[in-house]
Structure 1
Amino acid sequence: MNALTKLSRRQSLQALALFGAGAAITRFHRPNTAYAQATSSSEIKDEDIFQFALNLEYMEAEYYLRATTGKGIEAADVGPDAGPVKGGSKVPFQSKAIREFADELAENELAHVRFYRKTLGSQAVSRPTIDFDAGFKAVREALGMPDFDPFANDMNFLLGGMLFEDVGVTAYAGAAPLLESKEFVEAAAAILAVEAYHMGMARSQLYQMGDKAQKAANAVSTARDKIDGAGDKDQGIERNGKANLVPATPDGMVFRRTPQEVLRIVYLTDKSGTDSGGFYPKGMNGMLKST
């Protein structure tokens, strides 16, 4: 049993509120506004964390479904107050392997959306407004690719997916210590593993595409690290002239991000107190929505 599991849930949440650590094993940093707000009146609930995850899964499912089918999630799976989704189109895949990988990604992410909606029941949040056009417009500057369209070809599709998958893995790892229900912990761990498979495959395929793809992927990593907060929680797919397909800490563990660090990336901002922007022009739905 590690030091984290010896803490009570209330003690862990108090520490998180004070020190902002979804990754609270060895190091704490900037104050975590949303946790502080949530715990000032009541403890954050497992359902709040799953609602946060559902927001992310909506975006991933929409991205992959639009890339593979040309259309997004069906009305039955988005909730009664679903926001619109702007952008996205069917990718003209050239590689059979990448096309099949994309189909599997879309199937997995839609399954995650359905799992969370089923698990949360009446507490499931509807799909938030998602804007791929505005989000990727900002990403173009970070990539140094003014004509970058994630739906234009195989490489661009993988780069766009990498933006979500790397963040998703660190988000799940950061949220795991906060969950109280054993069943919720088991579910989050199982989904984290699938997201990590996705990430590893995308990074591997990009690396094999050569110098252009490697530089673009590293640019995505650098851009994320500039806005997510203090500390280095990102790694490109090439380091010191060698492949770096598995981003990991010196202890060989996955990096962990707090919800606020994740929100800075998807809102495309480095400012605290922001509750919308980037891919979510009207913000996420649920309690955890402010950087």
Structure 2
Amino acid sequence: MASSHSYCLFVLLLILICSCSEALPRGHTADPTCPPERTSSSVVTVSSLHGEPWCQPPAPHIPVAVFPYDVDPMQFALNLEYTEAEFFLHGAFGVGLDQIAPELPLGGPPPVGARKADLDEVTWRVVAEFGFQEVGHVRAIQRTVDGVPRPLIDLSAHNFARLMDTAFGYHLDPPFDPYINSLNFLLASYVIPYLGINGYVGANPIIDGYETKKLLAGLLGVEAAQDAVLRALLFERLIEAVPPYGNVTVAEFTDRVSALRNRLGRCGVRDEGLTVPRDLGAERAICTNVLSADEDSLSYARTPAELLRILYLTGDEHVPGGFFPKGANGWIARSFLGKPRM
């Protein structure tokens, strides 16, 4: 009886998934997995409760919304948020911010080489949601501290292939292509979002305005959750070989990418793949590593200089390249290049 019941549930879930049509950036088609839209009365009820005193945060200790020195670190974060938004949106929909939210790039050039990925249903849903979340992140930063134009971002298969070749120390044959299937896209997604966590953890001690701290905490929470989802999806395939690269497993891909980021960052171990030596595992008791964290299981921090060394793929914050061929934008990034603020 139990087996029959489980089979029926499986068939029902399969029918629901198969009947869902792929969502579009605007004007979504009906999706049977979505709950009904909220009625106007329920929206009014929720809105009226939101204003009650017990729904509001306590008064800030320092009643300044945004300090002047909060602005540059948060604007620096826009470089990563732009990159994630373009990668996830293009991967899911084949279009980016210029079509989804054309007011947000602030005149910056469109990304290079980004395209729609061949994703299975579950991966597509995750990537599509992450793409829309990144739109909100960019908007929230611009609303709080104003914005800087989107930099030129290289999301081409060639750029990812070069990164993977550098991580492995030899040319993968055929060259790695993030857009060819779900597994490759997940492995490519492993490359960028984790750096946002490092940056927000690093920026936290130097941010003081209550609105800016609220923004940073909200961004960090979702970025960490995104990274956890990506790592969990990859962890399920830990020992699976990545075709067509022989016996090279998912775990080895993540371990080599993390090792590359540590080398480029030049500040020791601040990044770990899905497997680690036992002395780097949680409480030195386990060698699987669903989440990357230090000896106290706290997130690693990186400075803007470290992040640029990695994102440029040059190991030098003064030499642009990699994901930002002409350099990142904002005063912090431009100051390393000796160029005016953008």
- Normalising by structure 2, report the TM-score: 0.68
| Residues 1:60 and 2:63 aligned together | no
Instruction: Say whether the 8 Å CA contact 2:308–2:317 is kept in structure 1.
Output: no
| Deviation at residue 140 of structure 1 after TM alignment | 2.4
Quote the residue 2:273 is aligned against: 236
Q: SS where residue 115 of structure 1 aligns?
A: helix
For 1:125-164, list aligned pairs within 5 A.
125-133=148-156, 135-144=159-168, 145-146=172-173, 147-164=175-192
| Deviation at residue 72 of structure 1 after TM alignment | 1.1
Aligned to 2:229, which of 180, 183, 201? 201
* Distance in 2 of aligned mates of 1:215 and 1:148: 14
Instruction: Say whether the 8 Å CA contact 1:79–1:125 is kept in structure 2.
Output: yes
Instruction: Say whether the 8 Å CA contact 2:144–2:212 is kept in structure 1.
Output: no
Q: Aligned partner of 2:238: which letter?
A: G
Instruction: Say whether the 8 Å CA contact 2:313–2:322 is kept in structure 1.
Output: yes
Q: Give the 3 Å change call, closer, same or farther, for CA 184–44 of structure 1 in structure 2.
A: closer
Unpaired stretches in structure 1, ≥5 consecutive residues = 1-42
Q: Aligned partner of 1:138: which letter?
A: R
* Distance in 1 of aligned mates of 2:216 and 2:103: 23
Q: Aligned partner of 2:276: which letter?
A: R
For 1:21-36, list aligned pairs within 5 A.
none
| Residues 1:213 and 2:255 aligned together | no
* Distance in 2 of aligned mates of 1:216 and 1:246: 15
Q: Percent identity?
A: 32
- Normalising by structure 1, report the TM-score: 0.79
Quote the residue 1:83 is aligned against: 109
Instruction: Say whether the 8 Å CA contact 1:207–1:238 is kept in structure 2.
Output: no
Quote the residue 2:200 is aligned against: 172
| Residues 1:114 and 2:143 aligned together | no
| Deviation at residue 138 of structure 1 after TM alignment | 2.2
Aligned to 1:225, which of 250, 254, 262? 262
Instruction: Say whether the 8 Å CA contact 2:308–2:316 is kept in structure 1.
Output: no
Quote the residue 1:34 is aligned against: none
Instruction: Say whether the 8 Å CA contact 1:142–1:219 is kept in structure 2.
Output: no
Q: Whose radius of gyration is greater, 1 or 2?
A: 2
| Deviation at residue 50 of structure 1 after TM alignment | 1.3
* Distance in 1 of aligned mates of 2:71 and 2:148: 10
Give a deviation string over 1:42-77, Cα, whole Å, max 9, x none.
x97211111101111001100000100001112222
| Greater CA drift, 205-214 or 50-59 | 205-214
| Deviation at residue 192 of structure 1 after TM alignment | 0.5
| Deviation at residue 210 of structure 1 after TM alignment | 3.1
* Distance in 2 of aligned mates of 1:44 and 1:140: 39
* Distance in 2 of aligned mates of 1:127 and 1:154: 27
Q: Aligned partner of 1:100: which letter?
A: R
Give a deviation string over 1:117-162, Cα, whole Å, max 9, x none.
22233xx111011112253132121344342111111111111111
Q: SS where residue 192 of structure 2 aligns?
A: helix
| Deviation at residue 256 of structure 1 after TM alignment | 0.3
* Distance in 2 of aligned mates of 1:272 and 1:160: 22
| Deviation at residue 180 of structure 1 after TM alignment | 2.0
Instruction: Say whether the 8 Å CA contact 2:306–2:317 is kept in structure 1.
Output: no
Q: Give the 3 Å change call, closer, same or farther, for CA 272–79 of structure 1 in structure 2.
A: closer
Instruction: Say whether the 8 Å CA contact 1:229–1:270 is kept in structure 2.
Output: yes
| Deviation at residue 239 of structure 1 after TM alignment | 2.2
Aligned to 1:248, which of 259, 281, 293? 293
Aligned to 1:285, which of 319, 329, 335? 329
Aligned to 1:186, which of 190, 200, 214? 214
* Distance in 1 of aligned mates of 2:68 and 2:269: 27
* Distance in 2 of aligned mates of 1:140 and 1:162: 12
* Distance in 1 of aligned mates of 2:274 and 2:123: 18
* Distance in 2 of aligned mates of 1:44 and 1:117: 15
